[in-house]
């Protein structure tokens, strides 16, 4: 790889040669890459926000689904979430990281080529997502919907990014790493870990795969990923950006550098444990739910430490907010970060989650963070960067200020509407009579109708926000149109390089892990965890360990004269040991939660019942259900709370979804839960099941939901009657599921075809009795077969036999 650094040794004429230490080299930064990522972020921001606005209006006016398969809510909502997370925030954070890292390292990005591969590879992955998600090619896991070839592309591009980033750190001309870079390191390493583990899957074709985890394991891994995608993709890199750009814009250093040390390590360590708070009251083991809740509550401290550190950086500069749009956006973004990180732990408290889960309250919480924290940090950063990267004053500060107020009012409309909506619907869904024996509002649709005006207010709030973004686009376009792009430079002296070289390598692997600060900190953390999470003597022993380690550390440092800051100063001058410790801190929580859950033997640890594997036709129907994104609006998890049991039936057991790949417990109930929708095999039938609703009800409901549920906001799916389901892929899918441990007997393609035909024929015949006709191979028939199977289980004793022999059992 050639050295791409543009270096011009400058020496003033007619002067004696400078001493070697003072020889100056001027380095030009690769700001072209920053400009590319910034413009991409602005463009994808428009796409992602527009998709969000469209689906918000689709919820209000189902006709906007246009009866087109690729335009339906279930397919466009993943497009919206993926676009705003990976395309908008992704490109934004890459712009910020490349711009700030070069300056903090006083070095040009290590490789221009890797930078270009990173940029174009990332855009290719986004384009791939935009072309596949609307056509129903999805894994069916929230924020991890991309199909496996795109997952591989994303992973490779991320590796390219990581190499370029760490290579730049290794070539830096600054002895130590600034706090922003710590957050970038945590982002790169943790996102790689999360993304790879959660996307472990077995392909059945170029466009389809099954995740290797099933049921409860998939739920735990998915929300370990899902929650920490928020933590390490939407939070830590933006915190790094905050630590660089807020001091820069306020023209004063960060309020407390020492607080940032505490902020970083506590956040990285604690965040990763919080995932299970997405699964409270579900079939997830209770110890995991408790860990998720407790660590979520602990997050209050580091989150607010960081928020206060950011806001107090503006000390003495508050007057600038009146005119400076950049600082205005930053201050509001940090305030929204504080609000969202207060609300998150609040929602993870079991008694609050009882009300809030599956409602719009969660949606409001997420959007306070994404629109307020991510969106406003992005806007502030772009308004800051555009004049510097194109060497021209911002076209209109007035327009930027208007953008701010439009966005601000939009967020307030959006968030307050979602709070009111979530609390209203949550209260209605959970309300019972005085004895607690009957629901006060048994009709789910009635609760939906009560929040319709708030849903419209949300869409209006989103419109305001999007309008503000359009103003940003106009403003940036006018600023850079015809302007000459410029690249920043820095003068580096030979002594700087020498100082950096003296620092790097001064801390080996062994001293990194086995030194007083790390050992004492580890002992305190282990002791406190034992104290909190165990009982009796173990708990007492944990307290004792924590106490002894604390006192030992004080005595040790006082007696020896060592200082924590001396060791830490050395650590932040050594990028590899720093990165290793960061990875350890971020990986511990996930390892403790996930490994035991994966190791336990399934059939020995289930409750009273285990799921009956799907028939070939039900597999086809389930894949259609996943492909249409039904999980975006329907859960399949009756929580262990009285209102859920009264409304839907028995609470869901862990075993009832143990073979589901992906799990479909859901995170939002725009429509009712479906876990008890299925039923037993119908009288006189061999394979056809009939559950809570008849086949004909499902038929009519899928074609026109409002015909059976006046006021329903579910979109119609008329194409399912005419489009053929993919039966040819079933043998490969069954083979894949067998490989993953689903107890199927060996079946050849002919036998599978026979089963498909027989079950489909039974359903079609049943429909015909009510004068409804359907092609046996239509998607609708397969979907009906699946809907009638949801939640069907058998006694654990039968299941054990099936698991051990993988033989079919006659019912």
Q: Site for other proteins (CB under 8 A): which residue of 487, 582, 611, 670? A: 487
Decide if residue 219 touches other proteins (CB under 8 A). no
> Contact at 8 Å (CB) between 303 and 348?
no
Nearer to other proteins, 380 or 715 (CB): 380
Which helix (DSSP H) or strand (DSSP E) does residue 468 occupy? Answer: helix 452-480
Which helix (DSSP H) or strand (DSSP E) does residue 368 occupy? Answer: none
Nearer to other proteins, 248 or 800 (CB): 248
Decide if residue 247 touches other proteins (CB under 8 A). yes
> Contact at 8 Å (CB) between 731 and 749?
yes
> Comparing C-alpha atoms, which of 348, 460, 470, 450 is closest to residue 409?
460
Q: Three-state DSSP class for 769?
A: coil
Distance of CA 4 to the CA centre of its chain: 35
Nearer to other proteins, 251 or 770 (CB): 251
Nearer to other proteins, 184 or 687 (CB): 184
Q: Rule CB under 8 A: which of 81-100 touch other proteins?
A: 100
Q: Site for other proteins (CB under 8 A): which residue of 61, 70, 135, 257? A: 257
> Comparing C-alpha atoms, which of 93, 144, 194 is closest to residue 586?
194
Q: Site for other proteins (CB under 8 A): which residue of 104, 114, 216, 333? A: 104
Q: Rule CB under 8 A: which of 547-566 touch other proteins?
A: 565
Residues in contact with 341: Cβ distance below 8 Å, sequence separation at least 6, in sequence order: 299, 300, 303, 304, 307, 369
Distance of CA 228 to the CA centre of its chain: 6
CB of 324 to other proteins, least distance (A): 16
Q: Is 810 exposed, middle or buried (0-12, 13-18, 19+ CB in 10 A)?
A: exposed
CB of 326 to other proteins, least distance (A): 14
Window of 21-29, 453-461, 722-730, 774-782 that interacts with other proteins by CB under 8 A: 21-29
CB of 573 to other proteins, least distance (A): 9
Q: Site for other proteins (CB under 8 A): which residue of 32, 171, 320, 388? A: 388
CB of 257 to other proteins, least distance (A): 4
Nearer to other proteins, 6 or 722 (CB): 6
Q: Three-state DSSP class for 672?
A: coil
Strands 489-493 and 24-28: antiparallel
Q: Write 365-370 long-range contacts (CB < 8 A, 24+).
A: 365/340, 365/418, 366/230, 367/411, 367/414, 367/415, 367/418, 368/336, 368/339, 368/340, 368/343, 368/411, 368/415, 369/230, 369/234, 369/336, 369/337, 369/340, 369/341, 369/344, 370/84, 370/89, 370/234
Nearer to other proteins, 311 or 411 (CB): 311
C-alpha span between 664 and 215 (Å, rounded)? 8
Decide if residue 245 touches other proteins (CB under 8 A). yes
Nearer to other proteins, 489 or 550 (CB): 489
Decide if residue 320 touches other proteins (CB under 8 A). no
Nearer to other proteins, 104 or 221 (CB): 104
CB of 789 to other proteins, least distance (A): 58
CB of 28 to other proteins, least distance (A): 5
Which helix (DSSP H) or strand (DSSP E) does residue 491 occupy? Answer: strand 489-493
Q: Site for other proteins (CB under 8 A): which residue of 103, 350, 452, 478? A: 103
Which helix (DSSP H) or strand (DSSP E) does residue 760 occupy? Answer: helix 749-768
Q: Rule CB under 8 A: which of 165-184 touch other proteins?
A: 174-180
> Contact at 8 Å (CB) between 374 and 341?
no
Nearer to other proteins, 65 or 101 (CB): 101
Planar angle of CA 28, 34, 36, nearest 5 degrees: 125
Residues β-bridged to residue 24? 10, 493
* C-alpha distances in Å from residue 638, one per residue of 280, 307, 441, 604, 631: 11, 37, 17, 23, 14
Q: Three-state DSSP class for 560?
A: helix
Nearer to other proteins, 565 or 769 (CB): 565
Nearer to other proteins, 245 or 786 (CB): 245
Q: Site for other proteins (CB under 8 A): which residue of 354, 568, 697, 798? A: 568
C-alpha span between 384 and 521 (Å, rounded)? 39
The position carrying tokens 């384009």 is: 127
Please, what is the angle between helix 236-250 and helix 300-312, to 10°?
20
In the DSSP assignment, the letter for residue 6 is -
Q: Site for other proteins (CB under 8 A): which residue of 60, 489, 515, 603? A: 489
Nearer to other proteins, 128 or 511 (CB): 511
Decide if residue 2 touches other proteins (CB under 8 A). no
CB of 104 to other proteins, least distance (A): 6
Query: Which phi and psi (to 5°) does residue 603 adopt?
Result: -70, -20
CB of 210 to other proteins, least distance (A): 47
> Comparing C-alpha atoms, which of 372, 354, 376 is closest to residue 364?
372
Strands 793-795 and 609-611: antiparallel
> Comparing C-alpha atoms, which of 626, 505, 632, 628 is closest to residue 571?
505
Q: Rule CB under 8 A: which of 29-48 touch other proteins?
A: 29
Nearer to other proteins, 543 or 568 (CB): 568
CB of 165 to other proteins, least distance (A): 17
Decide if residue 28 touches other proteins (CB under 8 A). yes
Decide if residue 265 touches other proteins (CB under 8 A). no
> Comparing C-alpha atoms, which of 146, 105, 112 is closest to residue 129?
146
Window of 202-210, 213-221, 247-255, 509-517 that interacts with other proteins by CB under 8 A: 247-255
C-alpha span between 294 and 288 (Å, rounded)? 10
Q: Is 576 exposed, middle or buried (0-12, 13-18, 19+ CB in 10 A)?
A: middle
CB of 572 to other proteins, least distance (A): 7
Window of 184-192, 369-377, 410-418, 486-494 that interacts with other proteins by CB under 8 A: 486-494
Tokens matching residue 311? 């806001």
Q: Site for other proteins (CB under 8 A): which residue of 11, 18, 21, 26? A: 26
* C-alpha distances in Å from residue 248, one per residue of 100, 317, 446, 482, 632: 10, 12, 52, 27, 41
* C-alpha distances in Å from residue 247, one per residue of 193, 257, 786: 31, 11, 56
Q: Site for other proteins (CB under 8 A): which residue of 86, 119, 148, 243? A: 243
Q: Rule CB under 8 A: which of 491-510 touch other proteins?
A: 491
C-alpha span between 455 and 440 (Å, rounded)? 23
Q: Rule CB under 8 A: which of 593-632 touch other proteins?
A: none
CB of 560 to other proteins, least distance (A): 18
CB of 108 to other proteins, least distance (A): 12
Q: Site for other proteins (CB under 8 A): which residue of 39, 270, 457, 490? A: 490
Number of residues that bind other proteins (CB under 8 A): 39
C-alpha span between 582 and 511 (Å, rounded)? 15
Residues in contact with 797: Cβ distance below 8 Å, sequence separation at least 6, in sequence order: none
Decide if residue 686 touches other proteins (CB under 8 A). no
CB of 497 to other proteins, least distance (A): 16
Decide if residue 119 touches other proteins (CB under 8 A). no
Q: Three-state DSSP class for 679?
A: coil
Q: Site for other proteins (CB under 8 A): which residue of 88, 232, 244, 625? A: 244
Q: Site for other proteins (CB under 8 A): which residue of 128, 149, 387, 488? A: 488
> Comparing C-alpha atoms, which of 516, 588, 584 is closest to residue 554?
516
CB of 189 to other proteins, least distance (A): 21
CB of 579 to other proteins, least distance (A): 17
Q: Site for other proteins (CB under 8 A): which residue of 20, 205, 436, 569? A: 569
The position carrying tokens 């799916």 is: 717
Window of 133-141, 252-260, 293-301, 676-684 that interacts with other proteins by CB under 8 A: 252-260
List of residues contacting other proteins (CB under 8 A): 6, 8, 26, 28-29, 100, 103-104, 174-180, 243-245, 247-248, 251-254, 257-258, 261, 388, 391, 486-491, 565, 568-569, 572
């Amino acid at each position: 790889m050639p050295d791409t650094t543009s270096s011009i040794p400058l020496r003033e004429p007619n002067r004696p040669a400078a001493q070697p230490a003072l020889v100056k080299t001027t380095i030009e930064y690769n700001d072209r890459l920053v400009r590319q990522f910034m413009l991409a972020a602005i463009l994808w921001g428009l796409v992602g926000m527009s998709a969000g606005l469209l689906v918000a209006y689709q919820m209000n006016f189902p006709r906007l689904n246009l009866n087109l398969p690729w335009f339906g809510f279930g397919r466009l909502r993943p497009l919206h979430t993926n676009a705003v997370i990976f395309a908008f925030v992704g490109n934004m954070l890459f712009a910020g990281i490349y711009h700030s890292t070069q300056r903090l390292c006083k070095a040009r990005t290590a490789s221009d080529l890797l930078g270009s591969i990173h940029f174009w590879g990332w855009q290719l992955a986004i384009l791939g997502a935009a072309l596949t998600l609307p056509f129903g090619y999805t894994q069916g896991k929230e924020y991890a919907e991309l199909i496996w070839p795109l997952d591989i592309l994303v992973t490779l591009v991320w590796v390219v990014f990581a190499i370029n980033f760490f290579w730049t750190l290794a070539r830096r001309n600054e002895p130590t790493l600034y706090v922003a870079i710590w957050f970038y390191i945590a982002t790169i390493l943790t996102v790689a870990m999360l993304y790879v583990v959660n996307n472990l899957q077995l392909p059945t074709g170029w466009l389809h795969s099954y995740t290797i985890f099933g049921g409860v394991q998939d739920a735990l891994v998915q929300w370990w990923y899902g929650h920490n995608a928020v933590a390490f993709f939407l939070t830590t890199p933006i915190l790094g950006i905050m630590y660089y750009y807020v001091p820069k814009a306020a023209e004063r250093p960060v309020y407390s550098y020492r607080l940032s040390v505490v902020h970083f390590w506590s956040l990285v360590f604690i965040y990763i444990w919080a995932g299970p708070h997405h699964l409270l009251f579900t079939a997830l083991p209770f110890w995991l739910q408790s860990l998720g809740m407790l660590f979520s509550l602990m997050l209050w401290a580091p989150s607010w430490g960081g928020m206060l550190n950011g806001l107090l950086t503006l000390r003495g500069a508050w007057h600038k907010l009146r005119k400076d749009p950049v600082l205005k956006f930053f201050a509001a973004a940090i305030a929204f970060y504080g609000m969202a990180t207060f609300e998150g732990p609040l929602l993870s408290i079991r008694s609050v989650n009882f009300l809030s889960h599956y409602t719009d309250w969660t949606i409001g919480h997420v959007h306070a963070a994404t629109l307020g924290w991510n969106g406003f940090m992005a806007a502030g950063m772009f308004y800051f960067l555009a004049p510097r990267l194109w060497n021209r004053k911002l076209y209109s500060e007035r327009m930027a200020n208007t953008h701010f107020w439009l966005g601000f009012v939009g967020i307030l409309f959006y968030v307050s509407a979602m709070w009111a909506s979530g609390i209203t619907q949550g209260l209605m869904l959970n309300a019972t009579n005085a004895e607690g024996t009957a629901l006060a509002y048994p009709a789910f649709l009635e609760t939906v109708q009560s929040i319709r005006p708030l849903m419209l207010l949300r869409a209006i709030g989103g419109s305001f926000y999007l309008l503000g973004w359009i103003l940003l686009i106009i403003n940036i376009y006018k600023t850079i149109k015809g302007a000459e792009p410029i690249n920043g430079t820095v003068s580096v002296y030979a002594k700087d390089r020498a100082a950096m070289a003296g620092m790097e390598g001064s801390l080996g692997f062994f001293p990194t892990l086995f030194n007083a600060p790390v050992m004492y900190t580890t002992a305190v953390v282990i002791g406190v965890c034992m104290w909190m999470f165990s009982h009796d003597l173990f708990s007492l022993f944990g307290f004792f360990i924590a106490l002894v380690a604390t006192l030992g550390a004080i005595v040790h440092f006082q007696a020896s004269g060592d200082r924590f800051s001396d060791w830490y100063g050395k650590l932040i001058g050594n990028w590899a040991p720093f990165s290793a410790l960061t990875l350890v801190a971020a990986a511990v929580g996930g390892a403790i939660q996930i490994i035991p859950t994966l190791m336990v033997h399934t059939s020995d640890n289930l409750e009273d019942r285990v799921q009956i594997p799907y028939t070939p036709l039900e597999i086809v129907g389930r894949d259609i259900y996943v492909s249409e994104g039904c999980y975006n609006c329907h859960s399949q998890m009756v929580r262990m709370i009285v209102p859920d049991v009264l409304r839907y039936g028995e609470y869901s057991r862990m075993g009832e979804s143990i073979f589901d790949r992906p799990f479909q417990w859901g995170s939002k109930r725009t429509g009712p839960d479906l876990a008890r929708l299925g039923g037993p095999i119908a009288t006189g039938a061999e394979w056809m099941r009939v559950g809570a609703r008849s086949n004909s009800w499902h038929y009519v409901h899928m074609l026109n939901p409002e015909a059976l549920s006046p006021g329903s906001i579910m979109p119609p799916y008329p194409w399912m009657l005419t489009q053929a389901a993919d039966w040819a892929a079933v043998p490969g899918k069954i083979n894949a599921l067998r490989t993953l441990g689903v107890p199927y007997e060996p079946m050849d393609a002919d036998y599978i075809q026979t089963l498909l035909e027989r079950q489909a024929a039974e359903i079609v015949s049943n429909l015909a009795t009510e004068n409804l006709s359907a092609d046996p191979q239509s998607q609708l028939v397969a979907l009906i077969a699946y809907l009638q199977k949801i939640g069907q289980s058998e006694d654990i004793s039968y299941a054990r036999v099936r698991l051990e022999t993988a033989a079919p059992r006659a019912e």
